[in-house]
Amino acid sequence: MKKIKRIALLVGVLTITGCKAVTEIFEKGSFYTSVFSENYYREIPQRYLSDDYAETVYAIDDQININQPLDNAFENAIKHDLISKNISLEKVIELYGSDATKAIKASDYTNEIEYMEAVFGSLGSAENAKANWINYANNNNLSKGNYSKSIRESFKRGIFSKLTDGNIKCDGNGPKARIQIDERGMGHTFDHELINYQRFIISARGGSTVNYGNYGVARVTKAKVRVNVSFFIEKSTTNAASKHTVTFVVPEMHSDNEAILFSTIISFDLSEILGAETLKRVNGITINYELLEHAFLKPGGVLDESLDEEFALMVYEVMLPYSSWH
């Protein structure tokens, strides 16, 4: 069967802009051609593939939150930041409050609790577009967060900067907007060590070379995927080298959906799941996945070996809001 090489996600009518100038920070044309099979990024530091790291695996299927870019981020992100005192209520209202939120006055309520309930209710309202995940990512990406200049600049260099610029969705620039990986995945060594951390957020979607029209079948827009994120700590005088892997299943990862806003945002509390000390001194990461089920390519979890079309994971963003680095 002739392989369909043209990527289904490159839709000519998409004209919304917003990607950072990634062409300026690695070789122009790398990993964002119109040929699907040429866009895989497969680089993993060789040492991360060795047995030098003692691995601990954390299955967190029941501890993740799944959202889409236009969903309200108050309950799963902003509220946590506020309660953790990472940000003041005044700043939250400024960044994420609608006009209705900003119109709420403490003087109109008999006590502070009633006032806070009103503010929280307004911030978390589905009608409050200011608190969506797009806005949250714009304010909390690793290249813009409350870090020193050297740390921010380190996340603006190299191909990994495609995952740290706050762009959590396909914006019409196709492969320029994300990193495409196969099941083996990708890896990266940070220029700095992670010291403090709270929540972890990753935005991704699936993509394939399937031409559904040629087969006369409906487009498959969801896939069941297991995602594995590993954090690496190097050997020191006091500790052995270690690897901490969080693994989780996304039952319905958006895939091959032409709507630009359909990426899948997964968030969870790293400090709660692993503890506040476990990932101190992390300076590397790998991301890989396993396609568990796809109604066309892997129906019922059984790979259709008569097909040679490809499936890939498109990773848009990685965030560690209010983390600190050394």
Nearest Cα neighbor of 202 from 290, 111, 265 is 265
pLDDT-derived band at 295 (thresholds 50, 70, 90) equals: very high
pLDDT in tens, 299-318: 999 999 999 999 999 999 99
Predicted confidence at residue 170, as pLDDT, reads 79
193's tokens: 């060590």
* Amino acid making up residue 247: T
The whole-model pTM stands at 0.88
pLDDT in tens, 73-109: 999 999 999 999 999 999 999 999 999 999 999 999 9
Does the pLDDT of residue 296 top 80, yes or no?
yes
Which of 190 and 149 is assigned the larger pLDDT? 190
Q: Measured between alpha carbons, how far is 194 from 244 in angstroms, rounded to an integer?
A: 13
* Amino acid making up residue 204: A
Domain edges within the chain? 22-70+168-325
Q: Between 133-140 and 89-96, two packed helices, what is the crossing angle to 10 degrees? A: 120
Predicted confidence at residue 277, as pLDDT, reads 95
46-52 long-range contacts, Cβ below 8 Å, gap at least 24?
48/187, 48/230, 48/232, 48/243, 48/284, 48/286, 52/235, 52/241
Nearest Cα neighbor of 7 from 322, 321, 311, 325 is 311
Does the pLDDT of residue 32 top 90, yes or no?
no
Q: What is the mean pLDDT of residues 283-307?
A: 98
Does the pLDDT of residue 113 top 60, yes or no?
yes
Predicted confidence at residue 33, as pLDDT, reads 76
Does the pLDDT of residue 165 top 90, yes or no?
yes
Angle at CA 250, nearest 5°, toward 41 and 144?
55
Predicted confidence at residue 171, as pLDDT, reads 67
Does the pLDDT of residue 193 top 80, yes or no?
yes
> What radius of gyration do the chain's Cα atoms show?
21
Q: What is the mean pLDDT of residues 260-288?
A: 95
Determine the length of the chain: 326
Across the chain, what does the average pLDDT equal? 89
Q: Among 29-38, 205-214, 260-269, which stretch is predicted with the lowest mean pLDDT?
A: 29-38
Q: What is the mean pLDDT of residues 144-164?
A: 89
Q: Among 10-14, 171-175, 322-326, which stretch is predicted with the lowest mean pLDDT?
A: 10-14
Please give, one letter per residue, the 3-state secondary structure of the chain. Answer: CCCCCECCCCCCCCCCCCCCCHHHCCCCCCCCCCEHHHCECCCCCHHHHCCCCEEEEEECHHHCEEECCCCECHHHHHHHHHHCCCCCHHHHHHHHCCHHHHCCCHHHCCCHHHHHHHHHHHHCCCCCHHHEHHHHHHHHCCCCCCCCHHHHHHCCCCHHHHHCCCCCCCCCCHHHHCEEECCCCEEEEEEEEEEECCEEEEEEEEEECCCHHHHCCCCCCEEEEEEEEEEEECCCCCCCCEEEEEEEEEEEEEECCCCCCCCEEEEEEHHHHHCCCCCCCEEEEEEEEEEEEECCCEHHHCCCCCCCCCEEEEEEEEECCCCEEC
Does the pLDDT of residue 140 top 70, yes or no?
yes
pLDDT-derived band at 46 (thresholds 50, 70, 90) equals: very high
Q: Are the C-beta atoms of 252 and 266 separated by less than 8 Å?
A: no
